Amino acid sequence: MPNTKLAAVAVLLFLTGCTPQKQVLEDIQLVGVVGYDYVDESTIRATVSVPTTEGGSDQAVLSSTTYSAKSHTSKNIRQVLQAESPRPFASGRVSVIIFNEELARRGITKIIDSLQRDPSVGRNIYLAVAKGKTQEMLSKEYPVGEIVPAYLKLMIEQNMELTFPRANFHHFNYSYYGKGSDPFMPLLEEKHGHIRITGVALFDHSKYVDHISFDNSFIFKLMYQSFRQGSHEFKLGKNNYLTLENLSSHVNYDIYSPNTNPKINITVDVTGKVNDAAGTPLYQAKTIEMIEKTIKKQTEHDAEKMVKRFQQKGIDPLGLGDRARSRGRRFNFKDWNQKYPDIPVQVKANIEVTQGGIVE
C-alpha cells in the first residue's frame, strides 16, 4: 500500500515536468482592439491597442497604448509587433476588430480566415469598418473615462441594443460562410474627439461595397430582426418632426414561389410611443391616427427604397436568399442570384402608437 502511494507521488512529480505553457495575466499584453490598414497590394498594417497600468496594485491607473507594424501576412505582424513590446501579445481578449475602408473594399478574407482558426478568439467580438486610418483612430486619446478598447466595445454594444442591428463575429461568419445572405458591420468614424458610428457598412461576401447612414439603420433593423428598443425621427409636415420610440417591433417575411417566380412581402409591426412631437397635440385620437399613418407611409417608403438599393448592388444583408431557401424544396441559389435584382419586394408596416408620455 505505501509503495503504490509512493509510486503515485513519484509519477505526479514526474508529470509536473510536462505542464502546459503558462500565460499569467500580468505577464502578457492583452490586445483589446486590432485595426488593420491598407498599405499596398501585398502589405497590411496592424495597430493593436493594449491596456497598461501604472503604479502599484493599490493605486493602479489603467491607460492604453498602441503598437503598430506592417507585414504581408496577419500572423507575421505579431512577430514584428513583438519586437517592440515588453511582454508577449495575447489575442484572447480582443473585443473589437476594425478594418480600414480601403482594405475592406479589397476584401478581408485572409484576416477573417486566420481569426476564425484561432481558438482563443471569441465569437461575440465586434467587427467594424473605419473611415480613415485605424492607426490614427486607435492612437488618439478620448476623454470618455474609458480606455480605447473598452470605449469601442461599450459604444458598439450599447448601440446594438438600440437602433443598430446586431452584428458580431458570429453573425459575420453566418453570412460570410452561408449562402443567401451577406454580412454587414458598423461603420466608424472619428469626429470631434470621439468615435461615432456613422452607418451600416454592407459587404458583398468579403468586400465592402456600400453603406447606409446611421439614420436609416433603424429602418434596416426593423426589417432585419424583431427587437424592443431604439427610436427614429419622422417628418410630420413642413419643419415638423416627431420621434417614435420603439417598444416592440416584429418582422415577418412572406415569400411566394421561391423557386420559380419569387415575390416577397415583408410585414413589420411596430408598437411605439411618441414623446417628442413639438407642437402636435398628442391626446386626440385623430392626431394619433394621423401620426400613425405618416409613420407607416414613411417607413414603407424608406424600407422599399433600401431593399431596392440592396437589389441593385446585388447584396443581401437581410438574408432574403436564406429565408427563401427555407420556403422551398430543391432550392437553387444560382437561379436565385440571377433573379435577385428583379424580385418584387413589398414592405408593409403596421404602426401603433400607444402612449404620449406622462402628460396630456
Partner 1 sequence: MNLQPKENRLVSPYFAFYLIHTMQVGVGVLGFQRYIAKSAGHDAWMAVITGGILIHLLVWMSYRMLKNSDGDLVAVHEDIAGKAIGGLFSTLFTIYSGFLALTVLRTYIEVIQVWMFPHINTWGISLILLCVVYYFVSGGFRIVTALAFFSLLLGTPLIFLKYFAVKDSHIYNILPLFDHSVTDFFVATKTMTLNYLGFEMLLLYYPFIKHPEKSEKWSQWGVFFSILLYTITAVESFAYYSQGQLKHTIWATLTLWKIVEFPFVERFEYIGISIWLFVVLPNICIAVWCVTRGFKRIYSLKQKHTLIPVLILIFAGTVLFKDRQQIDLLNSMVSRAGYYFIYFYIPLLFVLHWMVMKVRRRKKDA
Partner 2 sequence: MFGKRRQKKQERSQNQSSGQAKTQLTFEQLMEKCKASKDFVSFTKSDKHPFTISYYKSMVNPDLVHKDLIPYLTSFSSLSLTELSQEIPVENIEHTSDVQTIMDSLLTGSVLVQSRPEKSNCLLIPAATAEKRQISVPETEFSVVGPKEAFVESLEVNINMVRKRLPIPELHVKEVTVGKLSKTRVVFLYIEGIVNMENVNTLKQRISDIEYDHILDSTYILQMISDNQYSPFPQLINTERPDRVAAVLSEGKVAVLVDGSPSALTGPTTLIEFFSAFEDYFLSWHIASVFRLIRLFGVFFSVLSTPLYVAVLTFHYEMIPTDLLGTLIASRSGIPFPPIVEAVILELSIELLREAGARLPSKVGQTIGIVGGIVIGTAAVQAGLTSNVLLIIVALAALASFTTPVYQMSNTIRLIRFPFLVFAQFWGLLGVAICSSFVLGHMLRLTSLGRPYLAPLFPLRVTDLKDALFRLPFNRQNLRPMQMRPADPARFNYKRGIEKNDIEE
Q: Write the DSSP symbol of residue 21.
A: P
Taking the least distance from each CB to partner 1, the nearer of 259 and 294 is 259
Q: Does 51 bind partner 2 (CB under 8 A)?
A: yes
Taking the least distance from each CB to partner 1, the nearer of 20 and 55 is 20
Q: How far apart are CA 339 and CA 95, in angstroms?
A: 38
**Signed CA dihedral, 221, 226, 227, 231: sign only:** positive
Whether the Cβ atoms of residue 236 and residue 288 lie closer than 8 Å to each other: no
Stretch in the footprint of partner 1 (CB under 8 A) among 6-14, 185-193, 196-204, 296-304:
6-14
Q: Does 9 bind partner 1 (CB under 8 A)?
A: no
Which three cell numbers mark 342?
428583379
Q: Write the DSSP symbol of residue 318.
A: T
Stretch in the footprint of partner 1 (CB under 8 A) among 114-122, 232-240, 298-306, 336-344:
114-122
Burial of 26 (0-12, 13-18, 19+ CB in 10 A): exposed
Taking the least distance from each CB to partner 1, the nearer of 256 and 331 is 331
Residue 150 near which of partner 2, partner 1, none (CB within 5-8 Å, type-dependent): partner 2
Q: Does 171 bind partner 1 (CB under 8 A)?
A: yes
Report the nearest approach of partner 1 to the CB of residue 122 (Å): 6
Q: Does 239 bind partner 2 (CB under 8 A)?
A: no
Taking the least distance from each CB to partner 2, the nearer of 24 and 285 is 24
Q: Which helix (H) or strand (E) holds 9?
A: helix 2-15
Whether the Cβ atoms of residue 179 and residue 321 lie closer than 8 Å to each other: yes
Q: How far apart are CA 243 and CA 276, in angstroms?
A: 5
Residue 124 near which of partner 1, partner 2, none (CB within 5-8 Å, type-dependent): partner 1
Report the nearest approach of partner 1 to the CB of residue 55 (Å): 26
